[in-house]
Amino acid sequence: MRSDTPVTTQVALQALLELTERVGSNPLLTQASTGNTSIKLDGVLWIKASGKWMADALQDEILTPLVLAELHGECLGRNLDPTERYAGASLETAMHAVLPQRVVVHVHCVNTIAWAVRSDARTHLQERLNGLRWHWIPYVASGLPLSREIQGALAARGAEVFVLGNHGLVIVGEDCKEVEDLLGEVGRRLAIRPRQAHPADYTALAEISEGSPWDLPDDDAVHGLGTDKLSQAVLCGGLLYPCQAIFSNSNTPAPFRAIPCPDFPGQGEAQYRDRPFLMIEGRGVLVHKSMTPAERAMLSGLAQVVQRIPASAPLRYLTEAEIANSASTVAYRYRELANERLGSGAGVRALSRQAPGESLAS
């Protein structure tokens, strides 16, 4: 925080930073540098910068101040995404700017995503969020497109909760406590108990990884992607949300398909050597030693999402055009920035300690 910032502004910013740290330290809400928070003070939008981890809010300079009048006049008014004008601006700056409320929290919470990837999501959400001022936003790309959808929703009816199809959750309010309380309420309503996957075969995984570029993941829950047949069936159908394309560096679900164990060792090892991770059927998961903490955290988030999707759920996968957009130049820049973290993967370790079914907030 800048030393020349007025005292009243410092107090408000400190409240936002403390909220951001609490939210960012819960890997069921955010993974790596996903998600963002902001506050509007005296004509300035203070927003989490692209690539910063919310969990680092109290130990790193994560907020960027942007003049709201400039954002609206020189960017949004000219149909220019703020990321094209301001270096390091969050991909969601436009969305934060158009929301009139003072405080905005956007999270990639696994419970919400597990609902938001369903083709019948709106029906189920209506039942669970009844009584709240909420709005469903079908999937639209981040940046200007999402901000325009948000503006349309605000024009149609006021809302404090936005569920973003195949994406995540946005909570807004006039102060940090109000937003955090609402986040907790939405979390309780949308919580889903995850399936318990069959344990990993650590002996087999150790044999497969010996002398290879792969290693065991830090988060034991990731192994469910290889041992749970329902999770494998879900992932074979396509990509559920953009982070999958970003951290796997793939526009197809191929890296998420389980590999038969007999493929290893031998020719199979060479065939899959370039994959960032291996989901080995009935055995578990191995991650490439080059995978960054950010990529590992997002893989952990994916495991939590699919463990919350039942067999009967009708799913709405991303289209080819949507996947192509998520792997665009902007998404590439986001991925690069997401790897530049002050911390050391605390989110992944925290997730491995999370009790089964535990949910602080959606």
| Cβ neighbours of 226 (radius 10 Å) | 27
DSSP-derived letter for residue 259 is B
Residues 172 and 223 reside in one and the same domain = no
Residues 160 and 249 reside in one and the same domain = no
Residue 300 contacts residue 31 (beta carbons within 8 Å): yes
Residue 169 contacts residue 191 (beta carbons within 8 Å): no
Supply the range of the domain harboring residue 45. Answer: 7-190
Note the pLDDT of residue 274.
78
Summarize pLDDT for 47-85 with one digit per residue, the tens: 999 999 999 999 999 999 999 999 999 999 999 999 999
Amino acid code (one letter) for 92:
E
pLDDT band at 351 (very low <50, low <70, confident <90, very high): very low
In a domain, 332, yes or no: no
Residues 14 and 138 reside in one and the same domain = yes
What whole-number percentage of the chain has pLDDT above 90?
76
Summarize pLDDT for 174-231 with one digit per residue, the tens: 999 999 999 999 999 999 999 999 999 999 999 888 888 899 999 999 999 999 999 9
Summarize pLDDT for 1-44 with one digit per residue, the tens: 555 678 899 999 999 999 999 999 999 999 999 999 999 999 99
Residue 351 contacts residue 296 (beta carbons within 8 Å): no
| Backbone dihedral angles phi then psi of residue 288, each to the nearest 5 degrees | -65, 140
The CATH number assigned to the domain holding 166 equals 3.40.225.10
Tokens 């609402």 appear where? 182
Q: Taking the complete model, does pTM exceed 0.85, yes or no? A: yes
Residues 21 and 131 reside in one and the same domain = yes
Residues 154 and 217 reside in one and the same domain = no
Number of domains, the chain? 2
In a domain, 324, yes or no: no
Q: How far apart are CA 294 and CA 131, in angstroms?
A: 36
Residues 118 and 242 reside in one and the same domain = no
